[in-house]
Structure 1
Amino acid sequence: MKRVLFVSSIITFVLLLVSCQPTDDFDQTQLEEYEVKQTIAETREGDFVFRLLSEKEVYEENESVELYGEIIYVGDEEEVSIGHSASAILFSIEEKVRGYTIDYAVEDIGTTTILKKGENYRKKYKKSIHYSEEIDPKEYIAFAEEFMEGDGFPPGYYVVNGVTDFFLSPVEDDDGAKHFELEAEIDFLVK
């Protein structure tokens, strides 16, 4: 009798231990519900074109995701100076299956970039994710840690919102800087 009680106690302990572990409810078959709409998007405002692009519609789990934002100046001047935060291009990503957002952090302000007429200013997405061990759920923290491992993204359906937010420095006959904020959205899958 003592042996049966001891074995059932061990089984109960193991079941409790397993049930307390964070789980990732992600199931690859959930990806079948999603269809990639566009891997290139472009917007234009005044003399500026903003383009957001992913090299592929579908990436493998450990494959590097090639994601870029571009600003192209198409005005009359040979070059213009723009003022912006640490980066002229910011990426906000949402993994739709899990409902997780991978946002950007704005660091410095007051940075200047020279755009030459007709030349692409291109910024490649660099992985980063922010979380709080005190506030965020264990599942999100596990996702964040997996996200930062290696070059690829965890499996999922990703929607990327790219933004360029800058001021065009005033020219001599102008009385103020002009503000531009252009956005574009693309999507891709990781299987």
Structure 2
Amino acid sequence: MPTLRIEGFVIVSADGRLANAHNVMPDDLKIEGDKRFFTAALDRADLVVHGRNSQEEQPNSLQRRRLILTHKVQATAPDPSNPRALLWNPAGCSFEVACRSAGVTSGLAAIIGGPGVFDMFMDRYDTFWLSVAPRVHIPDGEPCFPGVPARSPQQVLAAHGLHAGEPQLIDAAHDVSVTPWRRVA
């Protein structure tokens, strides 16, 4: 039976934030090494899943099949602005049903946020790729996960059964690394 691997992707500031207080990713978090890593990952994905504020703004964005979470539809509906996207209300149908409606039953589902979307999949991630920009601080910003900043993003991932792998330096100029957090069977 085909399976869908679920992987999350986010870059956060030193204080665990992914956006400013207006839900906009600041330029300080738009780091070239992370952009390359993120783009390559999404190019491998069979499905991209995100909320209304989380878009990747890349040349291939409109080519990617995606689910966009919303409460404005009953279950699923075509996105009128993107023929490769499907609007999905998790209260109306399961992730599996939404995936089938989007024409995806196997491969990689890339979850790219925001916080509520990340949280929906916390107990289902096969891998969560956490990039950290240690020189960036957004004290009044949007936490990457519910529970941050009382707990660090790493503590939240560990509390959901994910284990840190070896960090990879992806941008030496900004000291940015990405760590794979994997579920151990």
The TM-score, its normalising length taken from structure 2, stands at 0.20
Structure 1 or 2: more strand by fraction: 1
Structure 1 or 2: more helix by fraction: 2
Higher relative contact order (CA 8 A, sep 6+): 2
Q: Which has the larger radius of gyration?
A: 1
The TM-score, its normalising length taken from structure 1, stands at 0.19
